[in-house]
Amino acid sequence: MASESKKISRREFLNRSTRTAAGVVAASALASCAKPQITYAPASCVRGASERINMAVIGVRGRGGGLAKNFAKIPNVRVKTLCDIDERLYAERVKQVAANQDFTPETEYDLRRVFEDKEIDAVATATPNHWHALVTIWACQAGKHVYVEKPCSHNIFEGRKMIEATRKYNRIVCVGFQSRSSRNVLQAMKFIHDGGLGEIYMAKGLCYKLRDGWKVVPDSPVPAGVHYDLWLGPADYQRFNENRFHYKWHWFWNTGNGDIGNQGVHQMDVARWGINKNEHPVKINCSGGYFGFPHCDQQTANTQIAAFEYADGKILQFEVRGRHTNDECRHTNDEKGVRIGNLFFGTKGWMCLNSSGDTWQTFFGRKNEPGPTSAGAEAGADPSDLAGAGGEAHFVNFINALRSGRPEDIPADIEGGHLSAALCHMANISYRLGRKLTFDGAREKFVGDRQANRMLTRKYRKHFVVPERV
């Protein structure tokens, strides 16, 4: 999606004037733990391809460990700091990153200390969802650029505040939608947008990922080395429980958004991209439930069907199947189908895009005659082209945007990230309330539904508030 940000001049980007960074105080962030308020100084400059970019990675257990390792591999990028509330992770992650660069990274459990470091140019964050917005806003206020994992927000209010912070402080913020940097997906989108399928009237996203349940366990003491209050951050206070901690936080409303906001948001973004909608839908309807494990304490659905209607009547559908299921786009018994991917339907034909390898194929006519495919599009492509590997290319594209100082160079801007994440949030609100909703995109409010509008945001814990004015 084309960025609507004001272009940062090369000179302004290099100097990072004190007008935008110096004197910015993250007062609510720094008041906790009896720590004084801190005035942020300008971050160090990113001067060009020959200059090193210093990064910090915040949240390094799972996805964050991959971010740290991959950013460390990029020439003239140094992962200076690894930040996580679980100190038990440090030794292994430090070793992994040091093996990919000529520097042993520092460790820190409090992300606020990372923002104080004037040498840090950018942060990448793979914290739980409930921290994404505050990490991004605080980083922008401190003069840092941000790579934030999906979904960019925990609720719709947060996404809008992230956009405002990005624009206000002239930062570059990239969302972790790796498909936006995949050569195959880019080719698929070009084929669609050039009219190869005719007029697209419907897009569908698939998240068919088998998930098991678990046994309920009692609350327990916080493990040694875990800074649990900081892990909770903006979320409601709850006693420590292993079922609500590492990774399983995805399945509780306090910290996660279910699989529609986990794996699903990737395919939601591709669906919105394909149907070419840079706006909110006007009607939302989602139903589903949690099936198969009656004694599990998971809160989010493992089965969901969501439908979004846009102002022009075009439809975006999404489906989560967390239990045993068939594949889509399977024509013979021995053919592998699609479980994580997208379908696009046009007036001439339709496309099946498999996120595994980002391969795609098209079909036309009453007999579904095969049409152009990614294999055909790949003919003559340079096999060394990094864009073929969406994840690695996405990281490089973010770094290249830092060097150019041009927000429009990033493939997944925060505004597009917000639009895609908002679809997941709207679906979950409809599911939790059990009714169809109407949305006013200009105001980012539900129409005539106070209960739904209260779910656009949340109550934040003291010292961890996403502010109205960023």
Across 138-152, 328-342, 384-398, which has the greatest mean pLDDT?
138-152
* Spatial contact of 170 and 139, defined as CB atoms under 8 Å apart: no
Question: Do residues 55 and 61 touch, judged by C-beta distance below 8 A?
Answer: no
Q: What is the pLDDT of residues 275-292, one digit of tens each?
A: 999 999 999 999 999 999
Q: Which of 419, 453, 451 is nearest to 281 (CA)?
A: 419
The two counts, helices (H) then strands (E), for the chain are 14, 18
Instruction: Report yes or no: 318 and 204 within 8 Å, Cβ to Cβ.
Output: yes
Q: Are strands 53-58 and 77-83 parallel, antiparallel or unpaired?
A: parallel
Q: Mean pLDDT over residues 69-91, rounded?
A: 97
Residue 62 lies in a domain: yes
Residue 242: inside a domain: no
My answer on whether 147 and 292 are in the same domain is: no
Tell whether 405 is covered by a domain.
Answer: yes
Q: Which amino acid is at 227?
A: H
Q: What is the mean pLDDT of the chain?
A: 88
Range of the domain at 444: 181-215+254-380+420-451
161 and 63 both lie in a single domain: yes
**3-state DSSP assignment of residue 210:** coil
Pairing of strands 200-208, 340-346: antiparallel
Cβ contact 320:207 at 8 Å: yes
Q: Beta partners for 77?
A: 53
As a whole number of Å, the CA-based R_g of the chain is: 22
Residue 41, CA distances (Å) to 23, 26, 54, 116, 469 in order: 7, 12, 16, 8, 20
More confident residue, 455 or 391: 455
Question: Is 236 inside any structural domain?
Answer: no
Are residue 73 and residue 192 in the same domain, yes or no?
no
Q: Which two tokens stand for residue 200?
A: 């697209």
Q: Give 377's pLDDT tier (boundaries 50, 70, 90).
A: low
The single residue listed with the structure tokens 């669906």 is 271
Q: Could you tell me the pTM of the whole model?
A: 0.88
120-136 average pLDDT score: 98
The total number of structural domains that make up the chain: 2
pLDDT at residue 156 tops 50: yes
Q: CA angle 34-117-22, nearest 5°?
A: 85
Question: What whole-number distance in Å separates Cα of residue 123 and Cα of residue 158?
Answer: 18
pLDDT at residue 433 is higher than 80: yes
CATH code for position 38: 3.40.50.720
| C-beta of residue 118 within 8 angstroms of C-beta of residue 44 | yes
Percentage of the chain with pLDDT > 70?
A: 85
Distances (CA, A) of 227 to 10, 56, 221, 461: 40, 19, 12, 16
Q: Are residues 286 and 185 located together in one domain of the fold?
A: yes
Give the per-residue pLDDT at 390: 55
Lowest mean pLDDT among 14-28, 195-209, 217-231, 254-268: 14-28
